[in-house]
Structure 1
């Protein structure tokens, strides 16, 4: 399987997710929406597996390949969290963003060779990147929940259930974020001889983790709820800078994290 086949999997998956995101707001059609979401996830997963086999390496090297995983995990996290908390908007948002990343990959396909540079030929490669992408999906969903809570607080209304959703998504996402960082340290030690070098991406990752940790501490003392909720959008902006933005900084040129 190659990138040229992506359209034949992406379009059905996106149509299924679009249908799920629309039908979920109709109580009588919610079961059908759940099945459509699951089918879209299955179709997308089938392409990732087939591409992995075709490339003879995990499709995690490039930004385009990581977008595949972001679409997959965001759709999956959206479905699982919807099943638990029953917020229709959460499944709809997850489906929408998964579609957006799919469209980006259709408009900007990336085709690369099968080979990986020596630094990426490590058993830490797959779990490190996969865990990070899963954490990004959870923290992205937490950000949307935070924006909804901010809107409610602006009307002097608080939704404890929504705060609970935010907290659980952040706890899980932060846990995966720290696990990914720890795996990265062991990978760096094996590949370059040191656990941490304050590389630009490492520095931004540290700052991002610190802001999410600040949110967790603020929630342990439930004061200033609106200020606390605003921490999550700020933290997610830092996360996006860590993931994408750092690559464009002059200081990152020659970085071990820019391939």
Structure 2
């Protein structure tokens, strides 16, 4: 399996997710949307598995490879939200966002090879990155909910139900972020001899974690406002974007950070 085969898996996956989204919008039953979403996940994961086998390592090293996992987990997050809270539009939003990352990967693929630097040959490498990508997908879904709320606030009839859904998704997302950070700390101790060094990537990871904690604590206030809460989520997601890939372009990270993604 090579990167050239990606388009032959990506297009069928997006089509299956699109059918699932369209069906969810038109019919109240969840069976077929769930089935088509799962089929799309199966097709997409078969490419990830094929890349894993051909590379002889988990495809998690380059930015393009992490986008691959993000594209995979977004429909998972959308399906969880759809199944649990029944919002028909969430599958459409998660499909569109996933498709955007797929198009980016098709248009600008990274160089993929079998080489892993010694630090990445740790058993903590794969679970750390996979857990982070899943948490990013959950928090990406929350961001879609926040945007939906802010644009349609005046027309919404079930605001408290949406806020309840948002709270629960943030709890799940921050739990996985915390797990990812802990695994990363153990990995850093094994690879470099210390749990935390305030590397630019670690600093922005901490900022992202604190951003979502601000949301959680603000929501606990009796005087909290829904619109302000959703705005905090958007700001926290901006921190997440810097943590994920924005840090690669910061002057403080160039040539210094051990976490910047390499495409060679």
* TM-score of the aligned structures, taking structure 2 as reference length: 0.93
Structure 2 unpaired stretches of 5+:
none
Q: How does 1:205-220 map to 2 (within 5 A)?
A: 205-220=205-220
CA contact (8 A) 1:13 1:44 kept: yes
CA distance in 2, matches of 1:233, 1:138: 14
| 1:34 CA displacement | 2.5
SS at match of 2:196: coil
Partner of 1:252: 253
Q: How does 1:99-138 map to 2 (within 5 A)?
A: 99-138=99-138
**Residues matched between the structures, number:** 259
| 1:17 CA displacement | 1.4
Q: How does 1:45-124 map to 2 (within 5 A)?
A: 45-124=45-124
SS at match of 1:20: helix
Cα distance 1:250–1:93, how it changes in 2: closer, same or farther (>3 A)? same
Structure 1 unpaired stretches of 5+:
none
Cα distance 1:28–1:229, how it changes in 2: closer, same or farther (>3 A)? closer
Partner of 2:229: 228
| 1:46 CA displacement | 0.9
CA distance in 2, matches of 1:180, 1:30: 32
Of 162-171 and 93-102, more deviation after overlay is shown by 93-102
TM-superposition CA deviations, 1:198-252 (whole Å, max 9, x none): 1111111111111110111111124231212210000001100111111001110
CA contact (8 A) 2:30 2:83 kept: no
SS at match of 1:210: helix
SS at match of 1:61: coil
Of 158-167 and 49-58, more deviation after overlay is shown by 158-167
Cα distance 1:245–1:55, how it changes in 2: closer, same or farther (>3 A)? same
Partner of 2:170: 170
* TM-score of the aligned structures, taking structure 1 as reference length: 0.95
Instruction: Tell me: higher relative CO, structure 1 or 2? Use CA pairs within 8 A at least 6 residues apart.
Output: 2
